[in-house]
Chains A and B, each alone.
Chain A
Amino acid sequence: DAGVTQSPTHLIKTRGQQVTLRCSPISGHKSVSWYQQVLGQGPQFIFQYYEKEERGRGNFPDRFSARQFPNYSSELNVNALLLGDSALYLCASSLAYGAMGTDTQYFGPGTRLTVL
């Protein structure tokens, strides 16, 4: 079975540009979460989506947005890129939301974003 997939693998942008990152969850998983991992730190929670609705948001500015599609895939958008947005962006999928035992998250390989 395919795991969580993310595209692109690597991306280079310049300050002020906009970027869209994509994620496909494990088949049967309905919840997708996004994390930002800056070099040398643990992942920081950005968003969680379940059934196309936002279920959680971390402490990130409004430049960050996301959405989930009917097939449960998801996009993360970042506008007006800053140098500090350079990081590994991780997508994780889980079975559901709000039910015990469904919280285990499975991570994709990530998208490495470099902002110059």
Chain B
Amino acid sequence: AQSVTQLDSQVPVFEEAPVELRCNYSSSVSVYLFWYVQYPNQGLQLLLKYLSGSTLVKGINGFEAEFNKSQTSFHLRKPSVHISDTAEYFCAVSDIGRGKSTFGDGTTLTVKP
């Protein structure tokens, strides 16, 4: 069984400040890791993914994440946020070779002017 814990349900930050959204996971098998963003009343948009190789993954909109196998974490970071980054962010894991993903409960990022 897999599980995903997003450690912060809400993260308020000021515009141009750095931000980190934390994600821990547990799984008995090797997994792929994903971050998605969801804007109000929309579906999920893939931000970035870790499949293998370099543990530092760069995604769209200036986001990056680092896979830490020993700490079973996949934290999302951005050095300088914009108002338009205000959204819900979901961390997800999936078994390698399977399409089923397990999601965390989400982190609401609110960027204030």
Contacts and interface: CB of A to CB of B under 8 A. Distances in A.
A45 B49 contact: no
Interface of B: 4, 32, 34, 36, 41-46, 49, 51, 90, 92, 94, 96-106
A49 to B, nearest CB: 9
B97 A98 contact: yes
A56 B99 contact: yes
A45 B43 contact: no
A103 B99 contact: yes
A100 B96 contact: yes
A31 B99 contact: yes
Nearest to A101: B51
Given A43-B90, A110-B43, A105 B98 contact: no
B97 A103 contact: yes
Contacts of A43: 44, 90, 101, 103
A42 B3 CA distance: 12
Contacts of A33: 99-101
Interface string A83-106: 000000010101001111101111
Nearest to A55: B99
Given A42-B106, A50-B99, A55-B99, A104 B46 contact: yes
A108 to B, nearest CB: 5
Contact of A56 (B42, B43, B96, B100): B100
Nearest to A98: B97
A98 B36 CA distance: 22
A107 B98 contact: no
A45 B105 contact: no
Contacts of B106: 40-42
Given A98-B98, A100-B97, 8 more contacts: A43-B44, A43-B101, A45-B102, A97-B98, A101-B51, A103-B96, A108-B43, A110-B42
A97 B99 contact: yes
